[in-house]
Structure formats: structure tokens, C-alpha cells
Structure 1
Amino acid sequence: MAGASITVDDAVVLEAIDDYARRADDRRPLMASIGAYLVTSSQRRIERETGPGGVKWGRLSPRTANRRVNGRARGYDHMLRVSGRLYGSLTSSSDNDSAEAGTNVIYAGPHQFGAEIVQHARSQRIYRFYDKRSDRIDYRFRSRSRSNFESWVTIGEHKVTVPARPFLGFDDYDQGEVIQIVADYYMEGTP
């Protein structure tokens, strides 16, 4: 998975799986269940805005919160869920010996691990509205079709820091849940 992923490699969990695995050759259904749990756990972290271990994510910057989305200010709520693309792209894959959850969304990595993005210097045309009666410019940006005034602006090179907001992970709670999935799987008599 290109964006970001988490693989179960916890020694205690693998030992529990190995213990039960001696009883069955085909563990694909078990591994699929573990992968599905990892997806659900990652989605729960996005909903709760916490990383593995319950560590709360840092608050959005005021600049990001004030950015306009669908005609209104974005706000401080629903980090990583404005469009729902990242949340909905979480998926799992598994085989007989492993389970993995992740996403192929390209911006998942910078959100998971944090990043510093260099914005190169650029010039661009912006559009605004000039009111002739009051001889004032409305400094809000407009689309070209809704403006009557255009100008060129130059934006210098700058860096944008994206703080880490880990949504993929494997903590003590997940370890207990996966061990319970393994136990339930073999207690039900599934080969």
C-alpha cells in the first residue's frame, strides 16, 4: 500500500497465533478477521482524533481552521475527515501468515508520520471585486467570472509543517483485541 500501512508483528500476538496455528493449516479467514479489525481500529482513531495509546492529536492551526471549505470556514473539528477520502480508503489485505491494514492515499504518509513541505516561490493571478461607487476593493478572492479586477501576486518560498497525526498503529488495547479474535476463532471450532 503506497500511502501508509501497519503490519501486525507484535511478538505476543504472533506467539498466540502460532500456538493456535498448529491446529490448522488454513489461517486465511483468521488473518482476514484481524485485518478487518485493524481497519476498524484505524477508523476509530480518526473518529476520536487520537493516536495509538490514546495520545490526542495536536489542534489544527488557526490558518487551517479558517480555510474555506464548501463556502464556509473549515473549523477545528473532524481532522482528517473533511472529504472522507482517507477514512474511506482504509483497507486490509491478508494471506495465510499475515494481516495488514493501510491506505493508498498519497497524503496518508505525511499525516501519519508528519512532514515538512517546501512550497516554492510562485506568481499567480488573483481575482477580486472593485466597487466603483465606493472606490473600494473587496479583498476576498473571487472566481474569474465573478470579479472585475485582477492582479498578479508573488508568493515567496516557504515551508509548511504538517504535524504527525498517527491513525495507524498497534497498541496494548489492539494486542488484547487481536488475541481475543484468535481465541474466539479457534474456540468456535473453526479449523
Structure 2
Amino acid sequence: MFAEMGEELLSIHRIRFLQQQSPDGTPWQPLSEEYKQSKRKNRDKILTLDGHLSETLRYQASNDGVEFGSDRVYAAIHHFGGSIQPKTAHALHVGGRFFKNVTIPARPWLGISEKDQAEMLNIARHHIKNAIKPSNA
């Protein structure tokens, strides 16, 4: 059951990246024009330069549940937003320019909508129904 839920979550999030929207259906905040023009590819795609974030989505199913997400350290800042400051250099190099800090707006991408939650419940119902079905022995 939980493996099936994990596969469904992968599908949901692949679609979400294509639609560029949050779990509640809100479109992600657009890229700044300056950053969009500096991208060498996928200029029309938000949260996608090489596709690493969406490709790192994984699930771990067990008898007790399913864990889902990405192990990329930058996944959280793209979801919640925040400011980045250089650790060792004097400035960050973004889009051919230097900045003292860069603010990334929140673009919620991880999570489930009410519709997705209903689908998870349908998967559970299906498995429970099959588990309690009387055998034809």
C-alpha cells in the first residue's frame, strides 16, 4: 500500500513541476527577468535549470508509512524561500553579476493538495478492502 502511495506521490510531483504550481494550485512566483535571461537553458521553467531537483524526488515505503522528498540541500530554500549570503567570497555570482546576497522567493513544491490526499485515502481504502475480503476457499 505505502509503495503504491509513494509511486502516486512521484506522479503528483512530476505533474506539479510541469504545471509549475504549489500543492494548492497557486502558480509559483515567476523568475526575475534578469535571472531568466541569464539561464543557459530552461528559461521558461521555474525551479528547473538541469532538472536535478525534480529528479531527486524519492520515497521510502515501510510497513508503517511512506517518507517522501528530496535529499538536496537547496530543496528547502526553494520551497520556503530565504536569503543566501556568501560564506567564503565577498559576493555571489548569479547571472553574470555579483550580489552581496540573493533572496529566493518561496515556491512551495512539496506536499499534497486535498485532491491528492483523497487519492491517498482511496489507495488505502482499496488495500484495506482487499485485505478484509473473504477468501473463496
TM superposition score normalised by structure 1 = 0.59
Distance in 2 (CA, whole Å) between partners of 1:100 and 1:44 is: 19
Q: 2:121 aligns with which of 179, 183, 190?
A: 179
Change in CA separation of 1:59 and 1:103 when aligned onto 2, cut-off 3 Å: same
- Other-structure match for 1:107: 74
Distance in 2 (CA, whole Å) between partners of 1:181 and 1:48 is: 24
The percentage of counterpart residues that share the same residue type is: 29
The unaligned stretches of length 5 or more in structure 1 are 1-29, 123-140, 142-154
Deviation by residue 1:12-39 (Cα, 9 ceiling, x = unmatched): xxxxxxxxxxxxxxxxxx1111122122
Equivalent residues of 1:39, 1:102 under 8 A apart:
no
2:46 corresponds to which letter in structure 1? M
Equivalent residues of 1:38, 1:100 under 8 A apart:
no
Q: What does 1:64-143 align with in structure 2 at a 5 Å threshold?
A: 64-69=35-40, 75=43, 77-119=44-86, 120-121=89-90
SS at match of 1:56: coil
Runs of 4+ in 1 over 4 A off after TM superposition: none
- Is residue 42 from structure 1 mapped to residue 13 from structure 2 by the alignment? yes
TM superposition score normalised by structure 2 = 0.80
Q: Which has the higher contact order (CA 8 A, sep 6+)?
A: 1
Structure with greater Cα Rg:
1
- Other-structure match for 1:162: 104
**Number of aligned residue pairs:** 126
1:47 corresponds to which letter in structure 2? L
Change in CA separation of 1:68 and 1:102 when aligned onto 2, cut-off 3 Å: closer
SS at match of 2:102: strand
SS at match of 1:164: coil
Q: What does 1:146-157 align with in structure 2 at a 5 Å threshold?
A: none
The unaligned stretches of length 5 or more in structure 2 are 133-137
Equivalent residues of 2:60, 2:67 under 8 A apart:
yes
